Amino acid sequence: MRVGILTGGGDCPGLNAVVRAAVLAGTQRHGMSFVGFLDGWRGVLDGDVVPLDEERVRPLLAVGGTVLGSSRTNPLAGGVEQGVQRVRERLAALGVDALLVIGGEDTLGVATALHEAGVPVVGAPKTIDDDLSATDATFGFDTAVQTAVEACDRLVTTGASHHRAMVVEVMGRHAGWIALHTGMAAGAHVTLLPEEVVDLDAVADVVRAVLARGGAPLLVVSEGAPVLGQQAVKDAPVDAFGHVQLGGAGEQLERELQRRVPGLSSRVTVLGHLLRGGTPSAADRVLATRFGLSAVEALAAGRLGTMAALRGVDVVQVPLAEATGVLRTVPEARRAETAGLRW
C-alpha cells in the first residue's frame, strides 16, 4: 500500500512525530511505502509530493512545526463533488492508495467528506487548542501550555518589581483550555475564557485587591474571550474555512482596567504563535507517536474513515465524523473548581 500523508491547518508541536511513527511502523510492520503531500490539501490538489522513507523521518521526533508544511487550503471550497473528484484523480495519477490526514476540525472535516465519497482515508487529530470532542487530548496542547506558563513565570517577576498588572493573551479561538491550564499552573489572579461572560468590574476588583496587598496581578486572557461582549477580531479576511483572525482581547482588557483602576501600571503580552512553535514536550511526543502508530494499524486493518483518539489512557480508533462534531469547550464544572477563589 502506498500512503500519502498530509498535515493541514495551524501547525503544532508533535506533527513530525506522527509522521515519523507512521512511516517507521507502516514500513517495518506492513511493507507500506509513503509520500508526503506538501502544504496540506494544497499539495494534494497540485500533486506536490515528496518521498518519505525511514531515513527521512527518523530524525523528526523532536522537531517542531511540520516538515510537510501546512496551509488552510480547502479542496471542497468550490463544491464537494468537484473537490472530491479532483482529489481522487490526483491520488490515482500519483499511485497513492490511501491518505493519512493529520489535522484539526477543518482538515478532518475534508477527510470525512472524502471518506463518505469512498476515498480511502484515516486521520490523526491535532490542535494546540485541545478542543476536539472525539479525543480526550490532542498533542501540542501540553507543549503550548508549558510555553505559556514559562512566559508567565517570567512576566510575574518583572510585574512584581514594578507593582504592575501583567495581562497575558494566549491562543484559544473557541475553547479556553490553554488559558484555563496556563492560569492554574501560573497562579493567575484572573483567567478569562471564550466560554464565559466577562465581568470587567469584578476583574477590576480583583486587580485592586491584589495591588492593595502588595502583589502584582497576573491576568491570563484567551484570544477568544468576549472582553467587550464579543470576540476581538482583527481587520483580516476570513480563511477558506470561514474563520476570522482573532486578536486584541488582551489590549481591550488592559484598556478597560486602566479606566476602572486609577493610576494602574499595566502591560500586555500577546503570546500568540509562540505557543505553536518549538520542540514538543515529552508527553506530546508520546501521544503523537501513539496516534501515528494507531493510524497505520487502522490502514493495515482496513478500518478506513477512522481517526486515532485518546480515551482515558488508551488510544482507540473512532469514526472520523466524530472529530468534526461538537467542539470540546471548557465545561461549567471545570470553571466552578476555582470560582470565587482569591489566588
CB 6 within 8 A of CB 124: no
Q: Which is nearer to ligand F6P, 129 or 297 (CB)?
A: 129
Rg (CA), the chain: 22
We find the least distance from the C-beta atom of residue 163 to ligand F6P, in angstroms, to be 32
We find the least distance from the C-beta atom of residue 129 to ligand F6P, in angstroms, to be 5
Residue 259 in 3-state DSSP? helix
We find the least distance from the C-beta atom of residue 104 to ligand F6P, in angstroms, to be 6
Per-residue x/- mask for ligand F6P, residues 243 to 262, rule CB under 6 A? ---x----------------
Residue 171 interacting with ligand F6P (CB under 6 A): yes
We find the least distance from the C-beta atom of residue 300 to ligand F6P, in angstroms, to be 30
* Region from 20-28, 95-103, 126-134, 329-337 binding ligand F6P, contact rule CB under 6 A: 126-134
Q: How far is CA 107 from CA 16, 39, 237, 320, in A?
A: 17, 12, 19, 11
Residue 132 interacting with ligand F6P (CB under 6 A): no
The answer to whether residue 142 is catalytic is no
- Residue 239 CA to residue 230 CA, distance in Å, equals 20
H helix or E strand, kind and range, residue 133:
none
CB 122 within 8 A of CB 112: no
Choice from 107, 127, 146, 294 touching ligand F6P (CB under 6 A): 127
Catalytic residue among 39, 106, 129, 131: 129
Q: What is the largest CA-CA distance in the chain?
A: 69
The residue count for binding ligand F6P (CB under 6 A) is 11
Choice from 23, 27, 76, 129 touching ligand F6P (CB under 6 A): 129
We find the least distance from the C-beta atom of residue 11 to ligand F6P, in angstroms, to be 8
* Region from 23-31, 82-90, 170-178, 181-189 binding ligand F6P, contact rule CB under 6 A: 170-178
Residue 233 β-bridge partners: 246
Neighbour count for residue 326 (Cβ, 10 Å): 10
H helix or E strand, kind and range, residue 136:
none
Which residues, at least 6 apart from 299, have a Cβ–Cβ distance to it below 8 Å? 1, 3, 26, 30, 32, 98, 100, 120, 122
Residues counted in the chain: 343
Contacts of ligand F6P in 67-106 (CB under 6 A): 104
Q: Which is nearer to ligand F6P, 164 or 276 (CB)?
A: 276
The type of residue at 200 is L
- Residue 61 CA to residue 18 CA, distance in Å, equals 8
Contacts of ligand F6P in 196-235 (CB under 6 A): 223
Q: Which is nearer to ligand F6P, 129 or 322 (CB)?
A: 129
We find the least distance from the C-beta atom of residue 171 to ligand F6P, in angstroms, to be 4
Q: Which is nearer to ligand F6P, 172 or 280 (CB)?
A: 172
Choice from 69, 172, 176, 194 touching ligand F6P (CB under 6 A): 172
Q: Which residue has the cell 474513515?
A: 305
Give phi and psi for 184, each to the nearest 5: -70, -45
Catalytic sites, residue numbers: 129
- Interacting residues toward ligand F6P by CB under 6 A: 10, 104, 127-129, 171-173, 223, 246, 276
